[in-house]
Protein backbone atom coordinates (compact mmCIF):
# COMPACT_ATOMS: atom_id res chain seq x y z
CA UNK A 1 0.00 0.00 0.00
CA UNK A 2 1.50 3.32 -1.10
CA UNK A 3 1.39 6.44 1.08
CA UNK A 4 -0.44 8.24 -1.74
CA UNK A 5 -3.53 6.15 -1.03
CA UNK A 6 -4.22 8.15 2.11
CA UNK A 7 -3.86 11.47 0.32
CA UNK A 8 -6.68 13.88 1.18
CA UNK A 9 -8.08 16.13 -1.57
CA UNK A 10 -10.40 18.82 -0.13
CA UNK A 11 -11.99 21.53 -2.25
CA UNK A 12 -10.74 24.93 -1.13
CA UNK A 13 -12.37 27.95 -2.77
CA UNK A 14 -9.86 30.73 -2.95
CA UNK A 15 -11.38 33.23 -0.53
CA UNK A 16 -9.94 34.52 2.77
CA UNK A 17 -11.45 32.14 5.34
CA UNK A 18 -10.73 28.98 3.37
CA UNK A 19 -7.19 29.93 2.38
CA UNK A 20 -6.42 30.86 6.00
CA UNK A 21 -7.74 27.47 7.11
CA UNK A 22 -5.51 25.73 4.57
CA UNK A 23 -2.45 27.77 5.50
CA UNK A 24 -2.87 26.70 9.14
CA UNK A 25 -3.37 23.01 8.30
CA UNK A 26 -1.07 20.41 9.90
CA UNK A 27 2.40 21.62 9.05
CA UNK A 28 4.11 18.36 9.95
CA UNK A 29 2.49 16.40 7.14
CA UNK A 30 1.42 18.67 4.24
CA UNK A 31 2.22 15.75 1.93
CA UNK A 32 -1.02 14.16 3.17
CA UNK A 33 -3.12 16.94 1.60
CA UNK A 34 -3.41 17.88 -2.08
CA UNK A 35 -6.19 20.50 -2.21
CA UNK A 36 -8.41 21.20 -5.19
CA UNK A 37 -8.09 24.99 -5.35
CA UNK A 38 -11.08 26.62 -7.05
CA UNK A 39 -10.58 30.21 -8.17
CA UNK A 40 -13.86 32.11 -7.88
CA UNK A 41 -15.48 35.10 -9.63
CA UNK A 42 -15.88 37.26 -6.52
CA UNK A 43 -12.11 37.44 -5.99
CA UNK A 44 -11.50 38.12 -9.68
CA UNK A 45 -14.14 40.86 -9.84
CA UNK A 46 -12.78 42.50 -6.70
CA UNK A 47 -9.33 42.58 -8.32
CA UNK A 48 -10.73 44.08 -11.52
CA UNK A 49 -12.58 46.79 -9.59
CA UNK A 50 -9.26 47.69 -8.00
CA UNK A 51 -7.90 48.32 -11.50
CA UNK A 52 -5.99 45.08 -12.04
CA UNK A 53 -6.02 43.13 -15.29
CA UNK A 54 -6.97 39.46 -15.54
CA UNK A 55 -3.33 38.55 -16.09
CA UNK A 56 -2.29 40.57 -13.06
CA UNK A 57 -4.93 38.77 -10.98
CA UNK A 58 -3.61 35.37 -12.10
CA UNK A 59 -0.02 36.36 -11.32
CA UNK A 60 -1.03 37.61 -7.87
CA UNK A 61 -3.01 34.44 -7.26
CA UNK A 62 0.06 32.31 -7.96
CA UNK A 63 1.93 34.39 -5.38
CA UNK A 64 -0.89 34.01 -2.86
CA UNK A 65 -0.99 30.25 -3.31
CA UNK A 66 2.75 30.11 -2.73
CA UNK A 67 2.34 32.15 0.47
CA UNK A 68 -0.68 30.24 1.79
CA UNK A 69 0.23 26.74 0.72
CA UNK A 70 3.32 26.17 -1.43
CA UNK A 71 2.76 22.43 -1.76
CA UNK A 72 1.31 20.39 -4.63
CA UNK A 73 -2.31 21.20 -5.57
CA UNK A 74 -5.00 20.86 -8.22
CA UNK A 75 -5.84 24.11 -10.03
CA UNK A 76 -9.51 24.33 -11.01
CA UNK A 77 -10.56 27.36 -13.06
CA UNK A 78 -14.05 26.29 -14.12
CA UNK A 79 -15.78 29.08 -12.14
CA UNK A 80 -13.78 31.84 -13.85
CA UNK A 81 -12.89 30.30 -17.22
CA UNK A 82 -15.42 32.37 -19.18
CA UNK A 83 -14.33 35.58 -17.43
CA UNK A 84 -10.71 34.91 -18.38
CA UNK A 85 -11.46 34.23 -22.05
CA UNK A 86 -13.98 37.08 -22.46
CA UNK A 87 -11.44 39.57 -21.10
CA UNK A 88 -8.52 38.32 -23.19
CA UNK A 89 -6.70 36.90 -20.20
CA UNK A 90 -4.12 34.15 -20.48
CA UNK A 91 -3.33 31.34 -18.07
CA UNK A 92 0.28 31.69 -19.18
CA UNK A 93 0.59 34.59 -16.71
CA UNK A 94 -0.22 32.18 -13.86
CA UNK A 95 2.16 29.56 -15.25
CA UNK A 96 5.06 31.98 -15.61
CA UNK A 97 4.74 33.23 -12.03
CA UNK A 98 4.22 29.70 -10.69
CA UNK A 99 7.40 28.54 -12.45
CA UNK A 100 9.44 31.31 -10.85
CA UNK A 101 8.04 30.36 -7.43
CA UNK A 102 8.57 26.64 -7.96
CA UNK A 103 4.90 25.72 -7.56
CA UNK A 104 3.81 22.23 -8.59
CA UNK A 105 0.20 21.74 -9.60
CA UNK A 106 -2.18 19.78 -11.81
CA UNK A 107 -4.67 21.75 -13.96
CA UNK A 108 -8.20 20.35 -13.84
CA UNK A 109 -10.20 19.73 -17.03
CA UNK A 110 -13.95 19.65 -16.36
CA UNK A 111 -16.10 17.27 -18.39
CA UNK A 112 -19.81 18.02 -18.59
CA UNK A 113 -22.45 20.29 -20.03
CA UNK A 114 -21.19 23.81 -20.66
CA UNK A 115 -17.50 22.89 -20.50
CA UNK A 116 -15.86 22.96 -23.96
CA UNK A 117 -12.96 20.52 -24.11
CA UNK A 118 -11.12 22.40 -26.86
CA UNK A 119 -10.88 25.63 -24.86
CA UNK A 120 -9.66 23.77 -21.81
CA UNK A 121 -6.95 21.97 -23.78
CA UNK A 122 -5.58 25.36 -24.86
CA UNK A 123 -5.71 26.45 -21.22
CA UNK A 124 -3.76 23.38 -20.10
CA UNK A 125 -1.10 23.99 -22.74
CA UNK A 126 -0.71 27.58 -21.51
CA UNK A 127 -0.39 26.38 -17.93
CA UNK A 128 2.48 24.11 -19.01
CA UNK A 129 2.05 21.70 -16.08
CA UNK A 130 3.60 18.25 -15.85
CA UNK A 131 0.42 16.48 -14.73
CA UNK A 132 -3.32 16.94 -15.34
CA UNK A 133 -6.61 15.92 -13.76
CA UNK A 134 -10.08 15.37 -15.18
CA UNK A 135 -13.19 16.17 -13.14
CA UNK A 136 -16.62 14.74 -13.92
CA UNK A 137 -19.85 14.02 -12.08
CA UNK A 138 -19.87 10.53 -10.61
CA UNK A 139 -23.47 9.94 -11.66
CA UNK A 140 -22.70 10.40 -15.40
CA UNK A 141 -19.12 9.20 -15.56
CA UNK A 142 -19.91 6.00 -17.50
CA UNK A 143 -21.53 7.87 -20.42
CA UNK A 144 -20.34 7.63 -24.02
CA UNK A 145 -19.70 11.39 -23.99
CA UNK A 146 -17.28 11.03 -21.08
CA UNK A 147 -15.34 8.28 -22.84
CA UNK A 148 -15.13 10.30 -26.09
CA UNK A 149 -13.92 13.37 -24.17
CA UNK A 150 -11.23 11.34 -22.43
CA UNK A 151 -10.04 9.95 -25.76
CA UNK A 152 -9.82 13.51 -27.14
CA UNK A 153 -7.91 14.78 -24.10
CA UNK A 154 -5.43 11.90 -24.16
CA UNK A 155 -4.89 12.18 -27.91
CA UNK A 156 -4.45 15.95 -28.15
CA UNK A 157 -2.25 16.28 -25.07
CA UNK A 158 -0.21 13.19 -25.93
CA UNK A 159 -0.82 11.47 -22.59
CA UNK A 160 -2.12 8.08 -21.57
CA UNK A 161 -4.85 7.41 -19.02
CA UNK A 162 -2.32 6.22 -16.45
CA UNK A 163 -0.88 9.75 -16.44
CA UNK A 164 -4.22 11.41 -15.59
CA UNK A 165 -5.88 11.86 -12.19
CA UNK A 166 -9.65 11.34 -12.26
CA UNK A 167 -11.83 13.37 -9.86
CA UNK A 168 -15.25 11.70 -9.53
CA UNK A 169 -17.52 14.39 -8.14
CA UNK A 170 -20.70 13.23 -6.40
CA UNK A 171 -21.35 16.93 -5.60
CA UNK A 172 -24.07 17.49 -2.96
CA UNK A 173 -25.04 14.30 -1.14
CA UNK A 174 -28.13 15.07 1.00
CA UNK A 175 -28.78 11.40 1.72
CA UNK A 176 -27.08 8.04 1.58
CA UNK A 177 -26.26 6.91 -1.96
CA UNK A 178 -27.75 3.57 -2.97
CA UNK A 179 -25.47 0.90 -4.43
CA UNK A 180 -22.30 3.03 -4.32
CA UNK A 181 -20.02 0.12 -5.26
CA UNK A 182 -22.05 -0.54 -8.41
CA UNK A 183 -21.71 3.11 -9.42
CA UNK A 184 -17.99 3.13 -8.62
CA UNK A 185 -17.26 -0.01 -10.64
CA UNK A 186 -18.85 1.59 -13.72
CA UNK A 187 -16.02 4.13 -13.93
CA UNK A 188 -14.32 3.53 -17.30
CA UNK A 189 -10.73 2.24 -17.14
CA UNK A 190 -10.94 2.14 -13.33
CA UNK A 191 -7.67 0.30 -12.89
CA UNK A 192 -5.70 2.52 -15.28
CA UNK A 193 -5.99 6.06 -13.92
CA UNK A 194 -2.96 7.49 -12.12
CA UNK A 195 -5.24 8.38 -9.20
CA UNK A 196 -9.00 8.15 -8.67
CA UNK A 197 -10.46 10.70 -6.25
CA UNK A 198 -13.95 10.34 -4.84
CA UNK A 199 -15.32 13.81 -4.05
CA UNK A 200 -18.58 14.88 -2.44
CA UNK A 201 -20.17 16.95 0.31
CA UNK A 202 -23.26 16.74 2.48
CA UNK A 203 -23.31 20.13 4.19
CA UNK A 204 -26.43 22.11 3.13
CA UNK A 205 -26.32 25.41 1.25
CA UNK A 206 -27.16 27.33 4.42
CA UNK A 207 -28.69 26.85 7.86
CA UNK A 208 -32.02 28.55 7.14
CA UNK A 209 -33.91 25.28 7.60
CA UNK A 210 -32.42 24.79 11.09
CA UNK A 211 -33.94 26.41 14.14
CA UNK A 212 -31.75 27.96 16.81
CA UNK A 213 -30.14 25.15 18.80
CA UNK A 214 -27.81 22.17 18.40
CA UNK A 215 -28.06 19.84 15.42
CA UNK A 216 -26.12 17.13 13.64
CA UNK A 217 -25.79 16.40 9.90
CA UNK A 218 -24.53 13.01 8.65
CA UNK A 219 -21.29 13.08 6.65
CA UNK A 220 -22.59 11.00 3.76
CA UNK A 221 -19.41 11.62 1.73
CA UNK A 222 -17.30 10.00 4.47
CA UNK A 223 -19.65 7.01 4.69
CA UNK A 224 -19.63 6.70 0.88
CA UNK A 225 -15.84 6.57 0.73
CA UNK A 226 -15.57 4.08 3.57
CA UNK A 227 -18.13 1.82 1.92
CA UNK A 228 -15.71 1.51 -1.02
CA UNK A 229 -12.78 0.30 1.07
CA UNK A 230 -13.90 -3.15 0.02
CA UNK A 231 -14.88 -3.38 -3.64
CA UNK A 232 -14.36 -5.87 -6.44
CA UNK A 233 -11.81 -3.74 -8.27
CA UNK A 234 -9.45 -3.81 -5.29
CA UNK A 235 -8.74 -0.12 -5.86
CA UNK A 236 -9.44 2.25 -2.97
CA UNK A 237 -10.15 5.78 -4.23
CA UNK A 238 -8.52 8.82 -2.69
CA UNK A 239 -10.84 10.76 -0.40
CA UNK A 240 -12.01 14.28 -1.20
CA UNK A 241 -14.72 16.53 0.23
CA UNK A 242 -15.99 20.09 0.39
CA UNK A 243 -14.97 20.45 4.06
CA UNK A 244 -17.89 21.96 5.99
CA UNK A 245 -18.98 24.01 2.97
CA UNK A 246 -21.78 23.36 0.49
CA UNK A 247 -20.75 21.44 -2.62
CA UNK A 248 -22.47 23.78 -5.07
CA UNK A 249 -20.73 27.15 -5.39
CA UNK A 250 -22.86 30.31 -5.40
CA UNK A 251 -21.64 33.88 -5.22
CA UNK A 252 -22.38 35.56 -1.90
CA UNK A 253 -24.59 38.62 -1.99
CA UNK A 254 -23.37 41.70 -0.16
CA UNK A 255 -26.70 41.61 1.67
CA UNK A 256 -26.12 38.07 2.91
CA UNK A 257 -25.94 37.92 6.71
CA UNK A 258 -24.86 34.52 8.05
CA UNK A 259 -26.12 33.47 11.46
CA UNK A 260 -23.53 33.28 14.27
CA UNK A 261 -23.19 29.51 14.11
CA UNK A 262 -20.46 26.90 14.50
CA UNK A 263 -20.13 23.91 12.15
CA UNK A 264 -17.83 21.36 13.76
CA UNK A 265 -16.82 18.05 12.18
CA UNK A 266 -16.89 15.04 14.49
CA UNK A 267 -16.61 11.40 13.46
CA UNK A 268 -19.40 10.59 11.02
CA UNK A 269 -21.27 13.88 11.38
CA UNK A 270 -21.19 17.66 11.38
CA UNK A 271 -22.27 19.28 14.65
CA UNK A 272 -24.11 22.55 14.15
CA UNK A 273 -24.51 25.13 16.91
CA UNK A 274 -27.08 27.43 15.32
CA UNK A 275 -27.34 30.99 16.54
CA UNK A 276 -29.83 33.78 15.95
CA UNK A 277 -29.20 36.92 13.91
CA UNK A 278 -31.09 38.83 16.60
CA UNK A 279 -28.38 38.38 19.25
CA UNK A 280 -25.31 38.76 17.05
CA UNK A 281 -21.76 37.49 17.34
CA UNK A 282 -21.85 37.43 21.17
CA UNK A 283 -23.31 33.92 20.79
CA UNK A 284 -20.04 32.51 19.43
CA UNK A 285 -18.27 32.20 22.81
CA UNK A 286 -21.38 30.53 24.28
CA UNK A 287 -21.42 28.01 21.42
CA UNK A 288 -17.69 27.44 21.92
CA UNK A 289 -18.07 26.90 25.67
CA UNK A 290 -20.81 24.35 25.04
CA UNK A 291 -18.71 22.54 22.43
CA UNK A 292 -15.56 22.48 24.56
CA UNK A 293 -17.49 20.74 27.32
CA UNK A 294 -18.53 17.87 25.05
CA UNK A 295 -16.75 14.61 24.20
CA UNK A 296 -16.85 15.60 20.53
CA UNK A 297 -14.33 18.40 21.03
CA UNK A 298 -10.92 17.28 19.77
CA UNK A 299 -9.10 19.33 22.39
CA UNK A 300 -7.07 22.50 22.56
CA UNK A 301 -3.94 22.06 20.47
CA UNK A 302 -5.47 19.49 18.11
CA UNK A 303 -5.45 22.13 15.37
CA UNK A 304 -5.24 25.86 14.86
CA UNK A 305 -9.03 25.86 14.68
CA UNK A 306 -9.53 23.97 17.94
CA UNK A 307 -7.17 26.28 19.78
CA UNK A 308 -9.13 29.26 18.44
CA UNK A 309 -12.43 27.71 19.57
CA UNK A 310 -11.09 27.00 23.06
CA UNK A 311 -9.65 30.49 23.46
CA UNK A 312 -12.91 32.08 22.34
CA UNK A 313 -14.82 29.96 24.87
CA UNK A 314 -12.88 31.79 27.59
CA UNK A 315 -14.18 35.13 26.31
CA UNK A 316 -17.60 34.27 27.73
CA UNK A 317 -16.46 35.27 31.23
CA UNK A 318 -14.93 38.59 30.15
CA UNK A 319 -16.65 41.96 30.39
CA UNK A 320 -14.93 43.17 27.19
CA UNK A 321 -15.74 40.00 25.25
CA UNK A 322 -14.13 39.64 21.81
CA UNK A 323 -16.28 36.98 20.10
CA UNK A 324 -14.56 37.00 16.72
CA UNK A 325 -15.97 37.59 13.25
CA UNK A 326 -17.82 35.20 10.97
CA UNK A 327 -14.77 34.72 8.72
CA UNK A 328 -12.59 33.85 11.73
CA UNK A 329 -15.01 31.14 12.81
CA UNK A 330 -15.38 29.78 9.31
CA UNK A 331 -11.60 29.48 9.02
CA UNK A 332 -11.33 27.81 12.44
CA UNK A 333 -14.00 25.20 11.65
CA UNK A 334 -12.60 24.40 8.20
CA UNK A 335 -9.10 24.12 9.66
CA UNK A 336 -10.36 21.69 12.31
CA UNK A 337 -12.06 19.69 9.56
CA UNK A 338 -8.83 19.42 7.54
CA UNK A 339 -6.87 18.26 10.57
CA UNK A 340 -9.53 15.75 11.59
CA UNK A 341 -9.80 14.14 8.14
CA UNK A 342 -6.01 13.74 7.92
CA UNK A 343 -6.13 11.89 11.27
CA UNK A 344 -9.15 9.82 10.21
CA UNK A 345 -7.43 8.69 7.02
CA UNK A 346 -4.26 7.83 8.93
CA UNK A 347 -6.31 5.71 11.33
CA UNK A 348 -8.18 3.89 8.55
CA UNK A 349 -5.03 2.94 6.68
CA UNK A 350 -3.22 2.00 9.89
CA UNK A 351 -6.05 -0.47 10.57
CA UNK A 352 -5.79 -1.85 7.04
CA UNK A 353 -2.02 -2.28 7.36
CA UNK A 354 -2.51 -4.08 10.67
CA UNK A 355 -4.57 -6.72 8.87
CA UNK A 356 -7.92 -5.82 10.41
CA UNK A 357 -10.90 -7.24 8.58
CA UNK A 358 -12.51 -4.77 6.18
CA UNK A 359 -15.89 -6.28 7.05
CA UNK A 360 -15.32 -5.31 10.67
CA UNK A 361 -14.27 -1.79 9.67
CA UNK A 362 -17.36 -1.32 7.50
CA UNK A 363 -19.56 -1.94 10.53
CA UNK A 364 -18.38 1.42 11.87
CA UNK A 365 -20.30 3.17 9.09
CA UNK A 366 -23.76 2.15 10.32
The predicted pLDDT at position 4 comes to 65
Nearest to 76 by CA among 151, 167, 181: 167
The predicted pLDDT at position 256 comes to 66
CA 123 from centroid of its chain's CA atoms = 22
pTM for this model (two decimals): 0.94
Residue 263 β-bridge partners? 272
The predicted pLDDT at position 18 comes to 95
The predicted pLDDT at position 203 comes to 96
The predicted pLDDT at position 298 comes to 97
Collect the ranges in the chain with pLDDT lower than 50: 1, 28, 366
The predicted pLDDT at position 255 comes to 58
For the stretch 287-315, pLDDT in tens is 999 999 999 999 999 999 999 999 999 99
The predicted pLDDT at position 359 comes to 77
Amino acid sequence: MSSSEQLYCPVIRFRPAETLALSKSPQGNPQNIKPILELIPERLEKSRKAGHSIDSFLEQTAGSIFAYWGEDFYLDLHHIRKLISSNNGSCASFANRAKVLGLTYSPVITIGTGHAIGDQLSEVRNLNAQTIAVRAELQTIDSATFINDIDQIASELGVSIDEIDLICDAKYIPQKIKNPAEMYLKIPHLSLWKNVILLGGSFPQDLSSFKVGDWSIPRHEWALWRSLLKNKSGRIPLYGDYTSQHAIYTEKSNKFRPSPSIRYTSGNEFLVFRGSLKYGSEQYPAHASLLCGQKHFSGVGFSFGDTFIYEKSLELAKADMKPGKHGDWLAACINHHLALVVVQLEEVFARIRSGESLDAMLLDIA
